[in-house]
Amino acid sequence: MTERQEFEATDIAASTDPKFVAPERKVFMRTYGCQMNVYDSNRMTDVLGPQGYTATENLEDADLVILNTCHIREKAAEKVYSELGRIRKVKEARALDGKDMMIGVAGCVAQAEGEEISRRAPIVDMVFGPQSYHRLPKILAEAATGKTVIETEFDIDAKFEHLSAQAAQPERKRAPAAFLTVQEGCDKFCTFCVVPYTRGAEVSRSVEQIVTEAGQMAAGGVREITLLGQNVNGWHGKAPDGSTWGLGRLVRRLSEIEGLDRLRYTTSHPRDMDDELIDAHRDLKTLMPYLHLPVQSGSDKILAAMNRKHTRDEYFRLIDRIRDASPDIALSCDFIVGFPGETDQDFQDTMDLIRRVEFGSAFSFKYSQRPGTPGATMTDQVPEDVKSARLAELQALVANQQTAFNASRMGMTCDVLFERKGRNTGQIVGKSPWLQPVPVDGPDSLIGTIQPVEITGIGSNSLFGRLVAGHHASVSSTDAIKEAVFDA
């Protein structure tokens, strides 16, 4: 053990002493994959703060590097190893200056590959899965003794209990829009997907935990919360009276929180889209008119082989019910092309589904064989060039639909929550109700507020607009409503 490592082991242990002041250190965190990893990375930063760590964007300055990884497709997983190669060089350069660098691999690759990671990349000091982030101080202390730490236990309840407490810093200034994980893991076992293996069985957080965390976020300046779960509309949490609520009820409860003007949720499974949640889209102004509802394929044969547990007709009927409740809703989707056994006709069924539904946007992927999933060993794998051609065809159709959806917003005035400065000076950027970025000319003081914007142009993703004159007050919409009532 080096002297520096010894020093680290003791000072981490000492950090439970209230008089203890941790030495300043820098952590470089890189996040891959879904929004849940973004939420987790933020919670890891919360846990590391009291250990003396502040974030750096500069790898060369980092005393600690954490890669929060994604295992969903082969390319995502392989990125980790190329990144570790780059990090090794920086670590070696730092060592010449007598500086140490601890390296941790977190997230879904850590969960799926465990020890294999440190075998392939011996510079890695710690491998820890998504359920162990609350134990980070202990993991760091152990790694500082020179031992390679591998932590891949499933204990989601403990994770949330501890991370919530860490996040409870009401005085902390927060971004106007933030994620809140309400459900983790998945019991659906789609035959292409690693998530049930990397995140474990479905666990829903309780109403009380979620309402408390959302309240703290709102008190810290968060105006929009996106509720996260791998299967978020399957959330069923315990309420204080002992009953079990569904997501529709939860969203209603969260809408009552002072200062919380906007709610979203992602990702939903078509099977779990119940009436209560659909009604919430009709009834609640806070629930934004945007829904990401992956269907993956438009062919009943492929849907069955994927174990998606619904047919294309059921999906169409569901979309009709959602549009009845919220005619203006922007629908988004995920598609996989080239699942084993997908014929040209199956693919054309998917294209037909897209034409019929008309999406506001969509993500699409070439099927990737994932070790340990049933799809990986299916015969009839589709050749790579066929997958590429189908993906290009599908993406062209979706791009047209996205442009059409955005064009239909031209001339409308809509509320925009401003989140950050734009690339050009004097520009700020926010999000429309339908989730497109909206850059406008306006003062920084409007960041964190919701303002009406007239849409004057469209880009491939963005809507361009201008602030509607006379509405530039730097207040939240709740404050604005209170003021209006007071004036009357």
Mark the binding-site residues for [4Fe-4S] cluster, compressed into ranges.
34, 70, 108, 186, 190, 193
Least CB distance from residue 78 to ligand F3S, whole Å?
Answer: 13
CB of 199 to ligand F3S, least distance (A): 5
Work out whether 432 is an interface residue with ligand F3S (CB under 6 A). no
266 belongs to the binding site for ligand SF4 (CB under 6 A):
no
Q: Where are the alpha helices (DSSP H) in 66-144?
A: 74-96, 107-113, 115-120, 136-143
Closest by CA to 59, choosing from 32, 31, 24, 94, is: 94
Smallest distance from ligand F3S to CB 309, Å = 19
Q: How far is the CB of 90 from ligand SF4 (least distance, A)?
A: 34
Minimum distance of ligand F3S from residue 188's CB (angstroms): 13
To ligand SF4, the closest distance from the beta carbon of 230 in angstroms equals 4
Rounded distance, CA 302 to CA 340, Å? Answer: 8
**Is 458 in contact with 409 (CB distance < 8 Å)?**
yes
Q: How far is CA 29 from CA 131, 178, 334, in A?
A: 17, 18, 27
**Is residue 37 a contact residue for ligand F3S (CB under 6 A)?**
yes
Which H/E stretch holds residue 45? helix 35-48
Q: Are 369 and 376 in contact (CB under 8 A)?
A: yes
Shortest separation between residue 33's beta carbon and ligand F3S, angstroms:
3
Quick one: which of 84, 109, 117, 190 contacts ligand SF4 (CB under 6 A)?
Answer: 190
- Any contact of residue 193 with ligand SF4 (CB under 6 A)? yes
How many Å apart are CA 121 and CA 55, to the nearest integer? 24
The Cα 332–Cα 355 span in angstroms is 13
Please, which of residues 343-382 interact with ligand F3S by CB under 6 A? none
Q: Which tokens in the block code for residue 416? A: 């925009």
Among 27, 62, 72, 140, binds ligand F3S (CB under 6 A): 72
Task: Check the CA dihedral 269-272-273-277 and report its sign.
Answer: negative
Q: Which is nearer to ligand F3S, 267 or 350 (CB)?
A: 267
- Find the binding residues for ligand SF4 in span 226-265 (CB under 6 A): 230-231
Sheet strands side by side (includes 224-228): 177-181, 224-228, 262-266
Q: Is 71 among the residues that bind ligand F3S (CB under 6 A)?
A: yes
Which helix (H) or strand (E) segment holds residue 181: the answer is strand 177-181
Output 112 or 302, the one with its CB closest to ligand F3S.
112
* Least distance (Å) between residue 335 CB and ligand SAH: 6
Q: Which of 314, 291, 362 lies closest to 351, judged by CA?
A: 362
Q: Is 143 in the site for ligand SF4 (CB under 6 A)?
A: no
Binding-site sequence positions: 34, 70, 108, 186, 190, 193
The per-residue DSSP string of 262-331 comes to EEEEE---GGG--HHHHHHHHH-SSB-SEEE---B-S-HHHHHHTT----HHHHHHHHHHHHHH-TTPEE
- Given 36, 64, 353, 467, the residue binding ligand F3S (CB under 6 A): 36
79 burial (CB, 10 Å; 0-12 / 13-18 / 19+) is middle
Q: Are 364 and 387 in contact (CB under 8 A)?
A: no
Alpha helices per DSSP H over 383-426: 384-407
CB of 70 to ligand F3S, least distance (A): 3
Among 29, 33, 200, 297, binds ligand F3S (CB under 6 A): 33
Given ligand F3S, ligand SAH, ligand SF4, none, residue 71, with its beta carbon under 5 to 8 Å by kind, binds: ligand F3S
64 binds, among ligand F3S, ligand SF4, ligand SAH, none (CB under 5 to 8 A by kind): none
As a whole number of angstroms, the distance between CA 86 and CA 13 comes to 31
Q: From the list 51, 164, 198, 432, which residue makes contact with ligand F3S (rule: CB under 6 A)?
A: 198
Task: Please give the single-letter amino acid code of residue 70.
Answer: C
Compute the half-sphere exposure of residue 346: CA atoms within 13 Å on the CB side of its CA: 22
Inter-CA distances, 191 with 89, 151, 349, Å: 39, 26, 20
Contact 436, 393 (CB under 8 A): no
Q: Please select the residue that binds ligand F3S; options are 59, 65, 70, 80, rule is CB under 6 A.
A: 70
Work out what residue 189 binds among ligand SF4, ligand F3S, ligand SAH, none; the CB cut-off runs from 5 to 8 Å by kind.
Answer: ligand SF4
* Binding span for ligand SAH by CB under 6 A among 190-198, 314-322, 416-424, 476-484: 190-198
Say whether residue 265 binds ligand SAH (CB under 6 A). Answer: no
Residue 196 binding result from ligand SF4, ligand F3S, ligand SAH, none, given CB thresholds of 5 to 8 Å by partner type: ligand SF4
Binding interface with ligand SF4 (CB under 6 A): 186, 188-190, 193, 195-196, 230-231, 269
Binding interface with ligand SAH (CB under 6 A): 72-73, 192-193, 195, 230-231, 267, 269, 294, 296, 334, 336, 365, 367-368, 370
Binding interface with ligand F3S (CB under 6 A): 33-34, 36-37, 70-72, 107-108, 194-195, 198-199, 230
